[in-house]
Amino acid sequence: MKKPKNFFPRSVLRSFVDDIKKLVSTNEGRMIILEMIEDIPYELRNSLITNLGSFYEPELVDFFYLLKLEYGREFELICNRTLEKYSMAGIDTSPPQILNGKFFGAYASMTRQSGRIAVDVAWYTGKKQVQAECFYLTFNPDGIHSFFLVEGMSQRRYEADRKYLKDMVAISYEEACFLISRAYEYNVRNMSKPAPGRFLYNKYLQESTDFSCEWQRKLIEKLSIRLNPRQIVNSLFHAVKHQDLDYVSALLSAGVDRAGADKHLLQPGSILVEGGVSDAYGNHERVSIKAYAVTLEERQLLHHEYLVKLAKKMDRSWQIMYIENTQSKRVLSHADVNPFEKEISCRVYEIINLDLLFDILDKVDDIREVKELPYGMHMRIHCCEDDFTMPVSIMSDVLADLVINGEEFVIMSKDYNSILEFDRLLTRGINYPVLKIGEYEINILSAFRYLGGQYLRFEDILLQDEVDSIFEDGMRFISTRYLLKDRETVLKQINSLAKIGYRFSDDYDVFYQLEEDGEEGCFLAEYLVGLNWITLSTFGDRDMNRARRIFENKMYDCLEFDGLEIRKEGIFDILTAEIKKEYPDLEPFLKDIYLNKWYNSQLPTLHGMSPCEAYQTEEGTRLLWAMFKKIKDRNGKRCGPGPIAGIQLKEYIRKLEQKKHKNI
């Protein structure tokens, strides 16, 4: 077997070991060690941990147990192998005692209505001292957003500090476990990574949290401030936007008919683009509210209208008693109610000094990296708008988007004053990190395309034809990327789902999952598996939601979500000349499953009809030929392989004719 390459000099490893020995005896030190591990590039961590095992130091036993508790399966095999070596060498490999304490008390902030909450739990450790474990929990894909602890705090100081925090209320140990576990479930559901420190807070996740709906509703009420009817309905849409289903259930409990909300707002794959109160009328005891919502479902915008009735309870707080979806209709691309047509301001700069720019960005509060782009990164500055007096939208809690894209830096915001304020920050002092080169207003849809990395330069947006699309046939191929923690288990899961596979090299495989029911050869998902990464790709959001739900089942410890992207080259982008030569049957197979999928898919370009259905009506036939014209025009302009390189126009037409004759 080939010996793995050592990327770390012995002197660097020795220094790392010395740091571990100093820190590993305390929980605060263990948290610092985890930060050090997180700073190591993902692809080098296995090599680092393996090489650390060559140092036979008794203190490293606690380090390897720490990794097992924190990362689970990801490093379990390496750690177990190292601990076995230590045991054979006569080193005591007994597990360390992480916390020896007694529950002292817990507090939570009264901010549950915002979908975010601060929780701290204190443990008595003796000598009139406590260990405070502090969480910032979000009931959205971030889950357990952050965690830190304070060791050796005096009881008196802990109790005094809590008295000054007026928005914090005491909670029981069971309530603390429930809140932390529910936030962690969002990490599991979205395959996102929780805050470091799981070796400590895993004890809360192991407690039973099987409480009744009424118990959960009362806890949410206890941790939420009182809202008026308008705020309650707007907070409902805020919760729908972030898929905070616990809060939605609390608002719509007590026998409320929620069919009107479930049909569109809570449908899997549906995205709330905008929603809120449009009108209200009533008195001190009862209020009726007219509300609206715009949702995105399979690339179609739908506008919904709702009637919501509220009444006061015995404790004089307001409660939703009734909700009804009174109307739903499709939103045309240039309609006034289309949120994506709203303009946002953009200022474009040329980057002169990247290091100085990063120094300035490091000083900005509430900024976080959203994702890496092909030639830079996308950052976002959040603002908290939790009073719920205004409708919510996809941009309602965003102050500004900042993009480093190659040699340009772009600021986007719906508030022009925010751009001016940020410009003053950039141009303060003698040396400027950037030079302004342009200022524009673009619609939100174009902004999202730029934020998604679809343009090399900002001004390329101005060349984009709004009616043009890279997906002329309506088949949008999207991919979910994951980092692999347990490759062997993931491959077993894929092999149980996808019966067709190809091995392109020792560390690169592709698998195709077909539908179990319906049309023969109907495609569901493609899996590309590398050495430490995997992509799951489908046509459209509905199939992606379904495929992810099946694939991710009980796989949280084996995978980590790493982002979404659109595959412009589609399902045929793996067909290099070498692969075509080695697997001559692969291209015909891909064409067959692609055309079957296209023929039976309901496409936005055909007004929600499938080609099979469209070919049977006059309007559908007209839309089909308009689609074919776009395909022909784009293929005529294309110099090299493009998004549908494997499919020619005549093959689409032949597919329709074959099915037509088959049905006669």
Q: Which of 53-67, 373-387, 594-608 is most confident? A: 53-67
SS3 138: strand
Q: DSSP letter for 552, please.
A: T
SS3 626: helix
Percent of the chain with pLDDT over 70: 88
Check pLDDT > 60 for residue 664. Answer: no
Q: According to the model, what pLDDT value does residue 470 have?
A: 44
Q: What is the mean pLDDT of residues 557-581?
A: 83
Check pLDDT > 70 for residue 149. Answer: yes
Percent of the chain with pLDDT over 90: 36
C-alpha–C-alpha distance, residues 305 and 137, integer Å = 32
Grade residue 646 by pLDDT with cuts at 50, 70 and 90.
Answer: low
Max alpha carbon distance in the chain (Å)?
A: 88
Cβ contacts of residue 615 below 8 Å, gap of 6+? 621, 624, 656, 659, 660
Q: DSSP letter for 296, please.
A: E
Q: Which of 79-83, 403-407, 592-596 is most confident? A: 79-83
C-alpha–C-alpha distance, residues 605 and 631, integer Å = 12
| Alpha carbon separation from 571 to 440, 519, 611 (Å, rounded) | 35, 19, 19
C-alpha–C-alpha distance, residues 636 and 625, integer Å = 16
Q: What is the mean pLDDT of residues 373-387?
A: 76
- Calculate the CA dihedral of residues 638, 639, 642, 646 and round it to 10 degrees: 100
Which residue do the tokens 């392109």 mark?
Answer: 504
Q: What is the mean pLDDT of residues 630-659?
A: 69
Check pLDDT > 50 for residue 643. Answer: no
Of 253, 408, 273, the closest CA to residue 337 belongs to: 273
| Alpha carbon separation from 143 to 147, 448, 475 (Å, rounded) | 11, 24, 32
230-271 confidence digits (pLDDT tens): 999 999 999 988 889 889 888 886 666 655 566 667 776 678
Q: What are phi and psi of 146, to 5 degrees?
A: -150, 155
What's the residue count for the chain? 664
Q: According to the model, what pLDDT value does residue 270 have?
A: 76
Helix axis angle for 213-222 and 173-190, nearest 10°, is 100
Check pLDDT > 80 for residue 142. Answer: yes
Q: According to the model, what pLDDT value does residue 6 have?
A: 60
Grade residue 469 by pLDDT with cuts at 50, 70 and 90.
Answer: very low
Q: How many CB atoms lie within 10 A of CB 507?
A: 11
Q: DSSP letter for 50, please.
A: H
Of 374, 300, 303, the closest CA to residue 337 belongs to: 303
Check pLDDT > 60 for residue 20. Answer: yes
Grade residue 468 by pLDDT with cuts at 50, 70 and 90.
Answer: very low
Q: What is the mean pLDDT of residues 558-567?
A: 81
Check pLDDT > 90 for residue 34. Answer: yes
Residue 126 and residue 240 in contact, taking contact as beta carbons nearer than 8 Å: no
Residue 399 and residue 414 in contact, taking contact as beta carbons nearer than 8 Å: no
C-alpha–C-alpha distance, residues 180 and 143, integer Å = 9
Question: Among the listed ranges 38-52, 331-345, 397-411, which one has the minimum average pLDDT value?
Answer: 331-345
What average pLDDT does the chain have? 84
- Encode 408-426: b = buried (16+ Cβ within 10 Å), e = exposed: bbbbbbbeeebbeebbeeb
Q: Which H/E stretch holds residue 654?
A: helix 649-663
**Alpha-helical runs (H) found in 206-301:** 213-222, 229-241, 245-251, 259-264
C-alpha–C-alpha distance, residues 228 and 225, integer Å = 10
Residue 515 and residue 522 in contact, taking contact as beta carbons nearer than 8 Å: yes
C-alpha–C-alpha distance, residues 291 and 325, integer Å = 9
- DSSP per residue over 588-600, as a string? HHHHHHHHHHHHH
